[in-house]
């Protein structure tokens, strides 16, 4: 087993330019955002929200409500990620359409999603139900993209020998998915699940307390409790809410994530066993439990056997490992869909242009300046994160002792929403020259560095043990070991982490550049500040213009920079036996 030889110059054929698929995806998302903005004009001018109690007795109920929303969003995110990632990786021609859409979706500011989704649901559902569904969708948008990128990266970097074995034995698509693709992706999916929950907690306050002008769409929950305490400057209630959140995070770590990581040890690609595998007291207890064994034998195993019997029919032929894209036959249905799309795109473009023309000319200059300021903060935040997450992530991922001590701490720190602690940090920085800009970069860093860290931990944990033994026998140490073993093994995970962290940083700018604490508003120049201001004042032309500019900037960066690196990761850093 070895890594392909490293090179940092991509072949010319790998460089994908901004093409028609990117334009189609951009138009689709732009149409979606525009329709949501238009729906905003038809909602009631004033909407009264519920009172959020800061009594300690309300915390258990609020915590259960928030946990239920987080769980619903996570189940939706995992289902979406597996289906979307599988389709992009396995369906001929699907990648060139689905990946641009994914690039754009992860670049759309989360707070720009919510007006679109919320006002759309209010048009067809009762208000309370619409707000609940919109909150779940908002949390979903903070969880799904890194899971999808992780699963797609795993699907495209499966060792060739394993794919050849599945083809030779004529595995059905279901059997190949269950025995090869899903197990190979399990460890990265679990680590990214931890990150997804952390991202969900980060935006929980935005999901549960959302206002659009005089429309108050608040929901009772832990996020609303923390946001209300921060807004009123009630430090006692704020600390009680944070303690409750930390308790939930610790319980999830001990009862869910550590057992899953210990169970996923069996899926590591290695020819020798790990000397220090991850362990979990709760998983050990479940394995000794007669009740758990009975549930597995009577419910889980029969269900899996039925699925296998239904879907595991051997294929009649051995499929090609690298099927060439076959052009689909043109039909009247395809031309009809193209015609409908073109008409919708023209209507959206004309209507959106009419709305954007109402925006004063000087505001466009502020938007462009804001885009440059936010880009600079994103680069700083990602650069700082990269400096410390690589050594720390490798240490946790390769040392069982470090993992036992630091893994729970890292998960707790990642899951505590920085927006809950940020007002306290902001007060200490406002007295420093340039403190508001430092605070914005710090909040973006706190909200995005974990995407990198958890992907690096997953990559370091997935390096086969036999490769480590070989490196020890060759006495590779220091920089030589990093250059030969560690960096090649980490490269796909680093790129996946950078892509999701970059999108997360742009989204975090929404709450980093515009903050409200104890009745005082603090904002800095940036796209995030403009979007939040437009949302708060119901300035729809500014909201649409600044959102579209952010999408275009992020998509261009993804297309001309991140996607090239991702292509290198999936072609030159693939682990083969």
Query: How do residues 363-413 score in pLDDT, each as one tens digit?
Result: 889 999 999 999 999 999 999 999 999 999 988 888 877 877 787 788 777
Is residue 472 assigned to a domain? yes
pLDDT of the residue at 427: 63
Residues 510, 531 contacting (CB under 8 angstroms): yes
- In the three-class reduction of DSSP (H, G, I as helix; E, B as strand; rest coil), residue 154 is classed as helix
Is residue 212 assigned to a domain? yes
Strand (E) or helix (H) holding 400: helix 400-415
Confidence of residue 68 (pLDDT cuts 50, 70, 90): very high
The whole-angstrom separation of Cα 138 and Cα 116 is 10
The whole-angstrom separation of Cα 97 and Cα 101 is 7
pLDDT of the residue at 4: 43
Between the ranges 197-211, 248-262, 381-395, 480-494, where is the mean pLDDT highest?
A: 381-395
Question: With 50 as the cut, is the pLDDT of residue 8 above it?
Answer: no
Q: What's the average model confidence in pLDDT over 75-84? A: 93
Is residue 559 assigned to a domain? yes
Confidence of residue 7 (pLDDT cuts 50, 70, 90): very low
Question: With 60 as the cut, is the pLDDT of residue 32 above it?
Answer: yes
Confidence of residue 28 (pLDDT cuts 50, 70, 90): low
Is residue 308 assigned to a domain? no
Is residue 317 assigned to a domain? no
What domain range is 135 assigned to?
A: 14-272+343-576
Is residue 486 assigned to a domain? yes
Rg for the chain (alpha carbons), in Å? 24
Q: What's the average model confidence in pLDDT over 83-103? A: 82
Is residue 282 assigned to a domain? no
Q: What's the average model confidence in pLDDT over 260-282? A: 72
Question: With 80 as the cut, is the pLDDT of residue 567 above it?
Answer: no
CATH number at residue 229: 1.10.3720.10
Four-CA torsion 422, 242, 189, 508, nearest 10 degrees: -20
The mean pLDDT of the chain is 77
Residues 81, 144 contacting (CB under 8 angstroms): yes
Is residue 489 assigned to a domain? yes
Tell me which of 285 and 103 has the higher pLDDT.
285
Give the chain's domain count. 1
Question: With 90 as the cut, is the pLDDT of residue 78 above it?
Answer: yes
pLDDT of the residue at 38: 60
Instruction: List residues bridging with 523 in a β-sheet.
Output: 514
């Amino acid at each position: 087993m070895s890594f392909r030889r490293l090179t940092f110059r991509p072949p010319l054929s790998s460089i994908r330019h901004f093409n028609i698929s990117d334009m189609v995806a951009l138009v689709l998302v732009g149409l979606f955002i525009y329709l949501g903005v238009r729906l905003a004009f038809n909602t009631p001018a004033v909407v009264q929200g519920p009172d959020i109690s800061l009594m300690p007795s309300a915390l258990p109920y609020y915590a259960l409500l928030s946990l239920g929303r987080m769980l619903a969003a996570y189940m939706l995110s995992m289902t979406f990620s597996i289906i979307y990632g599988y389709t992009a990786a396995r369906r001929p021609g699907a990648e060139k359409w689905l990946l641009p859409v994914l690039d754009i979706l992860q670049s759309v500011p989360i707070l720009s999603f919510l007006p679109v989704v919320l006002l759309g649901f209010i048009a067809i559902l009762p208000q309370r139900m619409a707000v609940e569904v919109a909150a779940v969708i908002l949390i979903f948008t903070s969880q799904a993209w890194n899971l999808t990128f992780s699963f797609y990266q795993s699907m495209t970097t499966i060792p060739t020998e394993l794919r050849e074995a599945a083809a030779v034995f004529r595995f059905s698509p279901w059997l190949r998915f269950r025995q090869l693709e899903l197990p190979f992706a399990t460890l990265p999916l679990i680590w990214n699940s931890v990150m997804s929950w952390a991202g969900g907690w980060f935006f929980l306050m935005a999901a549960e307390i959302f206002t659009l002008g005089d429309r108050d769409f608040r929901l009772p929950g832990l996020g609303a409790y923390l946001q209300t305490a921060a807004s009123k400057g009630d430090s006692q209630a704020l600390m009680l809410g944070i303690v409750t959140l930390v308790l939930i995070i610790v319980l999830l770590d001990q009862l869910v994530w550590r057992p899953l990581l210990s169970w996923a040890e069996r899926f590591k690609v290695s020819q020798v066993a790990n000397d220090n595998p991850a362990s979990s007291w709760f998983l050990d207890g479940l394995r000794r439990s007669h009740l758990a064994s009975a549930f597995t034998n009577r419910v889980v195993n029969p269900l899996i056997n039925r699925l296998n019997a239904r879907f595991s029919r051997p294929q009649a032929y051995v499929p090609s490992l690298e099927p060439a894209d076959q052009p689909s036959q043109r039909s009247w249905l395809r031309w009809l869909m193209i015609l409908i799309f073109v008409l919708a795109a023209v209507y959206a473009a004309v209507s959106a242009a009419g709305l954007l023309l109402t925006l004063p000319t000087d505001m466009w200059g502020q938007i462009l300046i804001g885009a440059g300021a936010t880009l600079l903060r994103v680069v700083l935040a990602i650069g700082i994160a990269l400096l410390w997450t690589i050594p720390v992530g490798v240490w946790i991922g390769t040392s069982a002792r470090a993992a036992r001590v630091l893994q729970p701490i890292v998960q707790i720190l990642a899951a505590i929403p920085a927006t809950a602690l940020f007002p306290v940090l902001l007060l200490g920085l406002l007295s420093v020259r340039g403190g508001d800009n430092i605070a914005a970069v710090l909040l973006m860093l706190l909200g995005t560095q974990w995407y990198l860290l958890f992907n690096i931990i997953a990559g370091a944990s997935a390096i086969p043990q036999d490769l480590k033994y070989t490196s020890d026998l060759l006495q590779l140490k220091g920089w030589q070991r990093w250059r030969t073993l560690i960096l090649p093994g980490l490269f796909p995970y680093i790129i996946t982490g950078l892509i999701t962290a970059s999108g997360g940083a742009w989204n975090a700018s929404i709450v980093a550049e515009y903050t409200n604490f104890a009745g005082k508003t603090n904002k800095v120049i940036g796209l995030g500040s403009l979007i939040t201001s437009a949302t708060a004042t119901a300035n729809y032309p500014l909201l649409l213009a600044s959102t579209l500019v952010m999408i275009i900037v992020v998509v261009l960066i993804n297309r001309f920079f991140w996607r090239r690196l991702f292509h290198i990761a999936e072609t030159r850093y693939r682990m083969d036996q």
